Amino acid sequence: MNNNTKIDFIYLSEQDMIRAGVTDMAACVDTMEEVFHLLHIGDYRMAGPNNDSHGAMIMFPEESPFPTMPKPTADRRMMAMPAYLGGSFCTSGVKWYGSNIANREKGLPRSILMFTLTDPDTAAPLAYMSANLLSAYRTGAVPGVGARHLARKDSRVIGLLGPGVMGRTSVAAFMAVCPDIDTIKLKGRSENNINGFVEWASEHYPQVSVEIVDTEEAVVRGSDIVTYCASGEVGDPDKYPMVKREWVKPGAFLAMPAPCNFDAGMEAPDVRKVLDDTGLYEAWYEEVPKPAHNFIPLVGVKFMDMIHAGTLEASALEDLGAIVSGDSPGRQSDDEIIMMSVGGMPVEDVAWATVVYRKAVEQGIGVSLNLWDEPALK
C-alpha cells in the first residue's frame, strides 16, 4: 500500500487574507447564515461536554509569587476556541485568542489572533492564518444575519455605541442587508476613534451621514437598528451601557455583541429576545459563577440569569438558527421590538476561514510550508 505521508499547508498573512476576500462582508453574512442553519440542525461540534462551549480560557490571579506571570489587566484573555463544522465546509480548526487592552500603548491591537484550519479526518493542517480580520468580520456579520431576518426592511437609522473594529464591521453588515440606511448616530469615547470612524464611513458609505451624539439615550432614540459595540470593564452590570424601554422606538432591532444592560421595560414579554445560539449561553451559564451577567456582560447571559431567577420563561427565548432555517418566525410586524444577543462562536471562524482558504488556494495566494515529507515518529 502506497501512502503519501507528505503534508504541506499554507500560511496566510493579514495581507494575504485581504487578497483572498476576508473583508467581503456581503459574502461573510451569507456564510454566517449557513452556519446558523448548521447549528440549528446539529451538524457541528464545539468544545465542552455539551459541544457548545465558547472555548477554554487561561485565567491569571490577582496576586502571584511569580513576577513574570501576566496580571489580570482589563480585557486580558488567552483562549483556545476549537470547532468542527459540517455542511459545505466539513473542516475543523482552532482560533488562538490573545487580548490585552495595554497592547494599545505599544501601537498594537487589543487582540492578536491566529487561526489553524485542519482536515477533520487526519487533523493535518490546511492553513495557518492571521485571524484579526477573520474574527472581526465574522463577528460583525452575525448582527447582519439578524438584521436580514429581524430588522425592518425600510430601516434607515443605525444607532452605534462604540466606533471601533466591531462597530465598523457591524455597520458594514447592516449596510449589506439594509440598503436604505442613510444615517448613523454615533457615540464614542475618544475624538480619535470618532474621527477614524467618520473617515471610514465617508470612504465606504458616502451616502450615509454620521451624527455624533453624547449619550446612550441619543444613540437609541429614533434608531431603527441599535448596536452596542464598546468594550469595557466586566463585573458590575450597573456600569454596563444601558438600554431603557422608553428610548426604543417601535419596530427597532437591537443587536448586542458587547457589554449591555437593560431596564425592566425591556424585560417585558412583548420585547422579543433572540440568542444567536441557545446552547452557547447554556454552556456559559454552567461554566461561570452566578449571577453570570457579572462575568459575561452580554444581554443573552442576563436572559439566562432571569430564567434562573424565575422572571423569564425559557420558552420566551428564540434562537437565530431556528429563525434562519424557517422553523421560527422572523419579524412579524412593523412595530415589534426585537433584541438579539451576539456571543460569537468558533464555528463562525471555521466557516469564514474555510471560505477564505479555498479562495486563496484557487488564486495561488499564500506561502506554502512543509510540515514533513515523512514523519519522524509514527
pLDDT tens across 249-262, in order?
A: 999 999 999 999 99
Residue 219 predicted with pLDDT over 90: yes
pLDDT-derived band at 350, boundaries 50, 70, 90 = very high
Are residues 209 and 319 both part of a single domain?
yes
Are residues 309 and 368 both part of a single domain?
no
110-121 tens-digit pLDDT: 889 999 999 999
Helix (H, G, I), strand (E, B) or coil at 262: strand
Are residues 78 and 174 both part of a single domain?
no
Are residues 240 and 318 both part of a single domain?
yes
What's the whole-number average pLDDT of the chain? Answer: 95
Are residues 237 and 276 both part of a single domain?
yes
Are residues 368 and 333 both part of a single domain?
no
- Angstrom distance (rounded) from CA 185 to CA 207: 14
Over residues 267-279, mean pLDDT: 97
CATH code at position 106: 3.30.1780.10
Are residues 191 and 267 both part of a single domain?
yes
Are residues 130 and 150 both part of a single domain?
no
- Angstrom distance (rounded) from CA 115 to CA 80: 10
Would you state the pLDDT for residue 77? 83
- Angstrom distance (rounded) from CA 66 to CA 229: 35
Give domain status of residue 2, yes or no: no
User: What is the number of structural domains in the chain?
Assistant: 2
The pTM of the full predicted model, rounded to 2 decimals, is: 0.95
Are residues 351 and 209 both part of a single domain?
no
Are residues 63 and 156 both part of a single domain?
no
Q: What is the percent of the chain with per-residue pLDDT over 90, rounded to a whole number?
A: 89
Are residues 147 and 88 both part of a single domain?
no
Helix (H, G, I), strand (E, B) or coil at 155: coil
Give domain status of residue 176, yes or no: yes
Over residues 12-22, mean pLDDT: 98
Give domain status of residue 38, yes or no: yes
pLDDT-derived band at 19, boundaries 50, 70, 90 = very high
Give domain status of residue 378, yes or no: no
Would you state the pLDDT for residue 2? 59
Whole domain around residue 28: which residue ranges? 7-134+347-372
Residue 221 predicted with pLDDT over 70: yes
Give domain status of residue 1, yes or no: no
Over residues 221-227, mean pLDDT: 98
